[in-house]
Every structure is written in C-alpha cells, then in structure tokens.
Amino acid sequence: MPSVIDSHVHLYPEAINRDPRGWATAHGEPRWEILCTRRRKNGRAVQGFPGVDELLREMDRAGVERAVLLGWYWERAENCAAQNRFYAECVRAWPERLSAFAAVQPAAGTALAAEELRRAQGEGFLGIGELSPHAQGYAMDGPGMAAVMTVAAELRWPVNLHVTDPQGRAYPGRVETPIGDFVGLARAWPTVRLILAHWGGGAPLRNDTGAAGAAVDAADGGELANVVYDTAASPLLYGAEVWREFSAKSGAGAVLFGSDYPLNNFPAVEAEPEMARLLAEVRGAGLGEAELAAVLGGNARRVLRL
C-alpha cells in the first residue's frame, strides 16, 4: 500500500486548545474565531483541538506516515511567530513524523516577514503557509507578498495559499479569493511552487483558469508548471468523484493529499475529526495504482523535497 503524507494539517499550542474563544478575543483573531470555534447545525464542532500526541495517535490509526503542519493565516504577526515556535518544538520532538510550514503576516511589515521566515528556516521548516492575502489584508501583487515570495524563491520553498470556490456555499468567515489573483502570482514568480489549497477552489474542474486548468507538473511543460493543488476539506466541498475528475483534468501529478485535520470532514457521520475516512474515499475513487501512489505521498515528497 502506498505510503501516506498528509500535506495539510493544523495544530495549535495548549494555550489555544484550552480556551479557543478566549484566546482569539485576547489575541485579536476574530476571523479565526468565527471559522474555527463555531458549531454546525447538528451541534457538532467544526473542528477539534487536539494536542500533538493526539495527532500522532490519529496518524497511526489511519496509517499516515508524515503530517505537514501548516500555519494559520493569522491577522497579527505575533500570533504567526508564536505558532511557528510551537511547530519548531513539534518538529524537533518528532522529525520522522512531522514537518512544518511557517505562518507569516506580511501586512505587519516586509522586513519583519522576511526575518520571521529566515528564523523558521533555521528551525527546520520547509515551506510557507497557509497564507490568505485576501483575509490577512495585503495585495497579491503588493510589497508584502513580494517579500514573502523573494524568500521562498531563495530558499526553494513552496507556498501554500488558501483558495475558496466562488460557486461554493456561504459559511461564516468565508472570504472571496479570485482565482485570477493566484494565476497572476504564479506567472510573476515562475520559480516558486504554489500549492493552491482546497482543490484550488475547483477552478481546474471548470477550466476557468486558462493554463492553470491544464496539467501543471513541471515535466509537462505547461505555462503554469509551478502550480499544484491540495485536497484539504474535500468532502465538505465536493463529492467523492472529484478525485478522479480532477486528476483527469489536471493530472494526478498535480494533487497532494491533505485532510485539513482537525477539521471534521464528515460531520454527518463522525462526532470527532479523523483521517481514515478520507483516505478510504480516495482509495475507493477509481484512481490507477500509480496515480494513487502519487496523490497519497509521491507528489508531496517531490514538491516538499522530503
């Protein structure tokens, strides 16, 4: 069975886990509070707040070899730095199981953002994100993003970006993310690998991104050979057929498995967030053996240079 790398996982320090709402109020993170601490109509929490030990147990239960810890798109730079220090501790303790991307808030200043990313490099990080310029309050083509991309190009780091589907359902805290902004970023920084989260907002399925909707693996020589996609929160956005349809349109080499754990992807049937059900979905989606191996781990190893 192919080894599994979960390329999109979030985790929080104990101070957040103890009192998420109180922490958000005290630390100036209203958008995160709306997105992450609310309950669904059935009364179940949108997500859980596990510690690192619980994450590792869930990985063992589901058969996940490695998890990539993504930072949140915090509104305040000091919260990015605090999460990065927490992730550094996690990676030092479990280097064979955990990797990390750095959180950053370019709106707080370009020099500060670059400094934080270089510090993260010294702590063993291997990428940047999850970023959401549209939620964090800076322009995709502005100086803040340019500072981030300059460091990414220098360090050969991929950048994970939050993307929403313009045809998707409304939910509290949702922010619009025009796909053209990401296409423009990819064209402006062709040497930086972009990971468009949440299936890139579904754009390749509708062929509404031009070259971004084509196969984008570098070997294919496409115009946007630096763009790949992760599958975070897939069951909340699309049916199980998305695995086969997306791979057929964009190539299985462009897809990185990501669960968005500890988001509860199956709130109608699961009381708590877990990874195994999503893995069962992709394994039953009708992908070929080589395609499945690429999606579950091979692509992540290549993109993240593991």
* pLDDT at site 214: 40
The number of beta carbons lying within 10 Å of the beta carbon of residue 117 is 25
Residues 75-98 have pLDDT tens digits of: 999 999 999 999 999 999 999 999
Q: Is 119 in a helix, a strand, or coil?
A: helix
- Residue 37 CB contacts under 8 Å (≥ 6 apart), including other chains: 20, 21, 24, 45, 46
Is the pTM here over 0.85, yes or no? yes
User: For 111-115, 136-140, 228-232, 249-253, which range has the lowest pLDDT when averaged over its residues?
Assistant: 249-253
Mean pLDDT of 206-211: 55
> What φ, ψ does residue 251 adopt, rounded to 5°?
90, 135
Rounded distance, CA 131 to CA 105, Å? 8
Look at residue 54 and tell me whether its pLDDT is greater than 70: yes
The structural domains of the chain, ordered by start, are: 5-304 (3.20.20.140)
Tell whether the model's pLDDT for residue 212 goes beyond 90.
no
Helix (H) or strand (E) holding 200: helix 197-200
* Percent residues over pLDDT 90 in the chain: 88
Centre a 10 Å sphere on the Cβ of residue 229 and count the other Cβ atoms it contains: 26
In this structure, are strands 66-69 and 98-100 parallel, antiparallel, or unpaired? Answer: parallel
Euclidean distance between CA atoms 98 and 95, whole angstroms: 6
Mean pLDDT of the chain: 93
Q: Tell me what the mean pLDDT of segment 217-246 comes to.
A: 83
- pLDDT for 219 beyond 80: no
Note the pLDDT of residue 207: 65
Please, what is the angle between helix 143-155 and helix 179-188, to 10°?
Answer: 50
- What is the structure's pLDDT at 151? 98
Lay out the sheet containing 98-100: strands in order across.
Answer: 5-9, 66-69, 98-100
pLDDT at 218 over 90: no
**Residue 237 parent element (H or E):** helix 234-237
- Greater model confidence, 173 or 259: 259
Reported as a single tens digit per residue, the pLDDT across 17-38 is 999 999 999 999 999 999 999 9
